[in-house]
Chains A and B, each alone.
Chain A
């Protein structure tokens, strides 16, 4: 359970202030503060949804942003760290669910699609890195930024597809590509650590290489084990309300073990979901967010993503931010559009898919971390590059759901009007 630290960090003078004042809220019990934030988030999301048909998660993130140091300073970013296990659980549940939606056989049946997936990721990373380097970023920092930027946010994409109830070719490809580029980002960051370690003495390079292989193989095996475990345990609770409980319990365990053994929870949970689907087929019923408990955590997750948003230094680094955002869009457009016809996609759908992939993700960096801070996860990375990456992520996290919804509704026309 998270340790309440919000109150401890609040100024003593504010402790006696009434709850309805800003100072009072800042000094409030952390559980109460988060509960109030959730209440506000639900109302704001609903108002925005009814007024402008904005995805509800925009309202959740916006509420988080309002409470963040960016605006009202109700909650400090560091105060969130104790909540991280719960947030990780929400992300884990969605990654597991995403894994159950993936059918790897599709990549064999449609090799042009497989090529398109890999090309989209690599081209995104490459173009972002090249143009950041052209703007003056050190090569190593540009490479790290490119690797982080190549992934799309799985949680945003999944949340939008759930809410829009979209079904169709673009939706299926979107989910597949999101899973693949998330894995490529995780693997890419591990590989980069090796490459960056080549300046170090030989022993450290070997250690880094072994460590990367251990992470990949270990995460895969862990996911495989939990997929098998779910298959074995499910018959005991099939048809009872305990099924989502079992799934959540296994997701927590897998996620915690992955973190404890310094593996990749992202990879482990995706593999667990895919294994469970392959093993159990029709016996596996996965509710969106793994049920109502997962839905609550989801709101919390998007509030926290909102709290982490930052626009610090935007006016000095905006060209860098623009390069990241534009290059991601261009690279997606080239990779998907170039192979659209060969892989069986229409031009309009290709445009829709490229746009739907724009929400950015911080998961590749943060999911394996102990805290919400980026800097400790990317040591030695050039400051302005890191900040540009953070600001680009902020913009494409906050507006990402709108692009994805717009694409699925108007370009792909895969949302159900009923």
Chain B
């Protein structure tokens, strides 16, 4: 199967996907009720989309194509309210967070569907362990070449998004010490990590052909890269974020990405190079492990910076773009969150107060559903 042409889309348009946890209101463990919620939401109003995910305790929502922060956050709030209403009707909770704190992977059930069963057959227990929840942000690009340029230029900022969105400190009831343990699950997949360094769509097509000829991949969906091109949408898709605990944070992260993309496209502060990836996995690890306190290495200058400071500097650089994109509210929320701490710290706060993990999950569900 050949790589399809890159669909043209309006540059810097946004689309946000959120994978969400469905939890029981009894014990706050994952509840296999995706089909029930999808049925209740079948006649929802709004241009957003809701669909199943690999296991029956997950759903994925996707916004319509958005251009600016105010309409994005409005749509996310509308879908949150409708989802919350549906969930209350079914006596379940919906929560953000990159992992469920204490679910047991072996108890998860694969959602009935051809692709999910194919993945389950192919990856075995990894598929059930993939009950993790991420935010994906699509950014529109006019052509494949520009998309690949942006994809590799953004690689330096991947740790920002990991640290800012990190909300998965707990796995199987244990504090992993990581702010984002979710990405460790993603790493287990053979086609995860970074995309190959190709800056032209034709060259990327040759790589894709080689891979399909090996039989290892069948479509772009089989690549679990941190950022991957999505030719059918005409976008690049950032996939490293944990699902934040609020839709407001999700919108702010998307718009922070939009601002960086605009700054990169318009000022071209550097040219992406293969050597940028020398520090990529180190920086990525620092962001996953230590969150905003992690230290990253600048691939160009080789200087070390604390992630929090690097994000602050980047926010200052992209401020005028935030103004032009009407995304100042988003950048302010990101700036505030640097001092308040990420969602992983918020979740740990519950446990540190001596409360059981179920209390943290309930609080996360109440926060996502805006019940407090």
Contacts and interface: CB of A to CB of B under 8 A. Distances in A.
Contact of B91 (A110, A282, A346, A418): A110
A109 B91 contact: yes
B323 interface: no
B355 A110 contact: no
B26 A103 contact: yes
Interface stretch (B1-9, B187-195, B356-364): B356-364
B25 interface: yes
B31 A344 contact: no
Contacts of A416: 107, 109
Nearest to A101: B26
Given A103-B25, A167-B32, A282 B355 contact: yes
Interface stretch (B33-41, B204-212, B282-290, B337-345): B33-41
Contacts of B89: 109-110, 113, 343-344
B358 A282 contact: yes
B359 A281 contact: yes
A143 to B, nearest CB: 33
Contacts of B32: 167-168, 414
A109 B88 CA distance: 6
- Residue of B29, B89, B107 contacting most chain A CB atoms (<10 Å): B89
A106 B91 contact: yes
Contacts of B88: 109-110
B195 to A, nearest CB: 35
Contacts of A281: 359, 362
Contacts of B36: 168-169, 344-346, 349
A201 interface: no
Contacts of A343: 89
A110 B87 CA distance: 10
Contact-size category for B: 20 to 34
A417 B89 CA distance: 27
Interface in A156-185: 167-169, 172
B55 to A, nearest CB: 12
A282 B90 contact: no
B45 interface: no
A282 B109 contact: no
A417 B90 CA distance: 23
Given A416-B107, A418-B106, A172 B91 contact: yes
Interface of B: 24-26, 28-29, 31-33, 35-36, 39-40, 86, 88-91, 106-107, 109, 355-356, 358-359, 362
Given A172-B24, A349-B36, 15 more contacts: A103-B25, A110-B90, A167-B31, A169-B36, A172-B26, A172-B91, A281-B359, A282-B355, A282-B356, A282-B358, A343-B89, A344-B39, A344-B90, A416-B109, A418-B107
25 contacts: A101-B26, A103-B25, A103-B26, A106-B91, A110-B88, A167-B24, A167-B29, A167-B31, A168-B32, A168-B33, A172-B24, A172-B91, A281-B362, A282-B355, A282-B358, A282-B362, A343-B89, A344-B36, A344-B40, A344-B90, A345-B36, A349-B36, A414-B32, A416-B109, A417-B109
A-B pairs, 6 with minimum CB distance: A109-B88, A106-B91, A282-B359, A110-B89, A344-B40, A282-B358
